[in-house]
Structure 1
């Protein structure tokens, strides 16, 4: 008979970053682990996610989700194995998706976890292509940008977890041309291997010039993960009634001063552009639809998803810092 642990490790926010996070902003702690009570499960995490949005939660500012608390454990997506259960709905041995990452174990209400099938797909897939990044790409293209067959679609940060999937989903939905930006020549080459028509390294030339080279006739949809010069370039290239799905602005997450908006925003008037920000959690009704379609696309080879792995809870802060510097191709995952 296995013995349930009485303590566990967790990463807490030691202090709020100013600019780019450093290792001093994180602390690894060992804490007591309570036994589950009625309706709860004890989960041993096997993989956890680090995501760009977490940088915003490290600031003490009002946003769409509460900021992380100093000296409290960080949170984020994770998949783990249930090792003890006081719930009739979740059994020992099942794997579950939940929001208590950044720790080795978690005691959670059974209604807050989602059972996933790790025989159908590896646990990490539920943090990437079958999880929040995949749904984000789908929501941004369909509900927000209202992409239509034949559209030319530009995706920034196209080698990241959301960007990789966005380009492939656009192709599966009938886009006429799909182009993307990434931070290295190797990443650009990978984009073309997974279905992008063209891509460019945004570090080697001005984004506006590079975008015009890969999409000389303009674009209809811009899926924005980067903001800044990418958004400005996209506005310049968008055609009449073009649409922008504003998903993220990773180029600005570590900024310490307010960042000016696009200098050419007035073009949105004459072109009749639509710029819409969104949070994936605002579209729960599309989750089942996406999972169903994604399963078919995966089986048909229309959807691939790269993963970049780091090992050990103690390595999670560095994985997060590396993510913000673009060290990942596809989804950054920490194995626990």
Structure 2
């Protein structure tokens, strides 16, 4: 499939409309909005790490409405069981048979709030869905609706009553993005919007109208998959990934999932910019969210508190496009 600028122009236009609509209520976090758009068009998953009150849940609710997608939210807690997420068969006395009651995972857009409050057993229930877009219940496998997108949040600074995500689970997330407190100007903007009545959720929600429907999203997913990638770009991604596996401060580099995340994400990023081809800057834009959460540092680097993002930036500085 040969693309023209006319094919990708609607994607760029819709993204601009979504971004402007979200910014009417949410202050800052434009990078997060872009990553959610990239993840959804790549049918990936995104992990948002940040302190409470940084609009993680609000952004996801707005995006789900704008994408006209079925939306379900799972609140992380230690008493949540796998069946509460994927579903369970229930015996009905009237029909004298077991009927499948599907869980919230059978939605287009699934938000798992505070995922690290789920037990490891329950966390693992998400692995199959995130990797293979299917769920197995009582030995039977059921496909999940398309498009399918998972967004999870966690507070990395709170440890009581939490269960850290294991490496295999973190690797399933296409991107991870840290959310920090806003700067002074953005904090003032929030206060002023509240003072002038522009921060009332009920009023804002009434103005939200779907920008895309699931069918249009499916079409865009097919379009971005055809964005052109030259061999040097694939070589550049390979060199970045190999650099993480050979760095002195890194004990465990990134997997091939990271390579694919960079490739697929770079295609979507190019389309959001109105291009039919990938350039190195598309890869560089996504390097931090695609690589940082997958790296395990050497003990000395951990003790020395070497920031993971500084290591990835160092790699970006040293690896050149061939």
TM-score normalised per structure 2: 0.26
Q: Point out the structure with the larger strand share.
A: 1
Q: Point out the structure with the larger helix share.
A: 2
1 or 2 for the larger relative contact order (CA 8 Å, sep ≥6)?
2
